[in-house]
A and B are shown apart, each in its own frame.
Chain A
Amino acid sequence: MILEAKDISVSLGGASILRGIDLDVGDNQWLVIIGPNGAGKTTLLNCIVKGVTYTGLIKLSGADIKTLKPRELARRVGFLAQMKFMDYSFTVEEIVRLGRYAHEKRGIFEFGAQNTESQATVDDALRLTGLTHLKNSSALTLSGGELQRMFLAQVLAQAPNLLLLDELSNHLDLIYQKRIFSLVREWVRSPGRAVISVSHDLGVAKYYADDAILLNRGELIARGMGDVFDAKTLSLAYGMDVRAWIKKLYETWV
């Protein structure tokens, strides 16, 4: 198992955000978390990077994440969080390079310290996300989709075992949605890797993921592709006939 989570609960300011969530993700598996707004999807991802205080046990390849130092955790888990805004002018390459932080030894003065292996990983990540031609551009000049790809490149450069993707398709145009989802699908095929993503696009989620969980108001209400994408369960969670809505959307195309 790459990730095992047992009885995860989170309370913030007296409000209970997550209650007793169990989760397993195995080798080469892509698990998708779906659910309406406020279901606790992002909070669940945040637990895995120790971004919120939780009760319960989370193990990464057998090790309790509470015992892992920040760098050790970052070598195992990469988190593509939802959109960040840039205030300072860094180049795309400088930001992607920071993904190597957890892998590089620290020197007292690191002026231009270059590690060839790291550089190759960074170049790869830039190429895969289609950003090589923009690597010397200031991140302040990028569009929303380019920023999203830049942060994905940073996470790929981090070379984790487990990739957490919060709304991967945000700001991406159709070509890049297809390209990036296929890229992640390809990425997860290598041994020792797994993906957990949060998605509102049920069509894409159903198409790419191997496993799914459905959250609603902090509770896990369905598990497994069959149960989660069951029309009745979805309608219960979203309070509307989800299947009929999606069908209606696609009918206009046929």
Chain B
Amino acid sequence: MLKANSKFVTLIALAFMFVFLLCVCTGSVYIHPSKALGALFGFQKPGDSMTNIIKNVRVPRVICAALIGASLSLCGASMQGMLKNPLADGSTMGVSSAASLGAVLAIALGINTNAIVFNATTVLAVVFAFVYMLIIIGITYRLDQFLSTNTIILMGIVFSTFANSMITLIIAFADRQIAAVTFWLMGSMQGRDYGDAMLLACALIGASVYILSHSRELNAFAIGEDNARHIGVDVKRIRLGLMISVSILMGVCVSVGGSIGFVGLMIPHIARILTGSNHHTLLPVSLALGAIFLMIADLLCRVIIIPLEMPIGVITSIAGSIMFVYIFVKFRKA
């Protein structure tokens, strides 16, 4: 088990910078790192096509991938701790299904109100994730006033099934938009701009301030809900706060990048193996690893079948399942 010492932090920071630069330089057109850095820091002519690719296409896209990767891992790590369930994730709770339903509805109906800063897909995804969270908590409260883990997960599974069948129904009727919907369902970073990056960054900063400042409570939840209550954690209030943070963050991620599976489930597991279960170190390490992982996944999408692009969800699921089996077998043996 690694300790979160300065060596480890430096290693992760270096890996992050290396991967970032690699992703900016590589793609359908290879750009030399010196030129890329030049373009990034404004040493190249503004009109240059390379500068244009770097600044307006690759950098915002790579930033979005990093932010989504970090956000999904953070959501996964906090849900796994809060629900004391290693299989929990934004998707297990049904939040990502709800966000997907909202986004698919916006795409299929062709709603295109750019009147506000955000487009309709974003607004509907966040609204659906948030309203879903209110509904799930409302119903769970009725069934069980302590908001217990099992009830929440059960509700999540039930609702995911419902949302997925609604999405299938929408696809069946949306003949003209079917390609857009399907591609989006597998997730993609194509054409993401600075506006998207800004939106993601705001959501991530807001959510991570709340979640990281409740690391101790997450530790208590991960040991057990009753134990958390007995040592003085305000279980209901903090659980509510965490669920709100996660649902907003998931909503924003899904609206920008589509539904990207496996990241929130897999990355926290890897982080846990590296640092242990203490959320003081687990959460920051999950953030960093999630960002690195999704940048690489997005890079692979762009280069495997040049000039075409693969949906990022395909890459994350393939890589995720292989990695997961490897980790599972290796650590079950030990």
> What residues make up the interface of A, taking CB atoms closer than 8 Å to B?
49-51, 53, 69-75, 78-79, 81, 84, 86-91, 94-95, 98-99, 101-102, 106-112, 138, 151, 154-155, 158
Contacts and interface: CB of A to CB of B under 8 A. Distances in A.
Q: Which of A84, A138, A155 has the most CB of B within 10 A?
A: A84
Given A90-B277, A98-B223, A109-B212, A75 B232 contact: yes
A101 B213 contact: no
B216 interface: yes
Contacts of B216: 98, 101, 106, 110
Contact of A84 (B209, B227, B272): B227
Given A81-B226, A84-B226, A98-B220, A110 B215 contact: yes
Nearest to A52: B146
A86 B224 CA distance: 8
23 contacts: A49-B229, A51-B226, A51-B229, A70-B229, A70-B233, A70-B235, A74-B230, A78-B230, A84-B226, A88-B86, A88-B223, A88-B277, A91-B276, A98-B223, A98-B231, A101-B216, A101-B220, A101-B231, A102-B231, A108-B209, A110-B213, A110-B215, A154-B231
Interface residues of B, number: 29
A110 B84 CA distance: 21
A19 B231 CA distance: 28
A138 B277 CA distance: 10
Contacts, number: 88
Interface in B171-228: 209, 212-213, 215-216, 219-220, 222-224, 226-227
B219 A98 contact: yes
B209 A87 contact: no
Contact of B231 (A51, A87, A99): A99
A111 B277 contact: no
A84 B232 contact: no
A84 B223 contact: yes
Contacts of A101: 216, 220, 231-233
Q: Which of A70, A109, A151, A154 has the most CB of B within 10 A?
A: A70
A164 B112 CA distance: 60
A66 B274 CA distance: 42
Interface in B61-94: 81, 84-86
A40 to B, nearest CB: 18
B280 interface: yes
B26 interface: no
Contacts of B81: 88
B52 interface: no
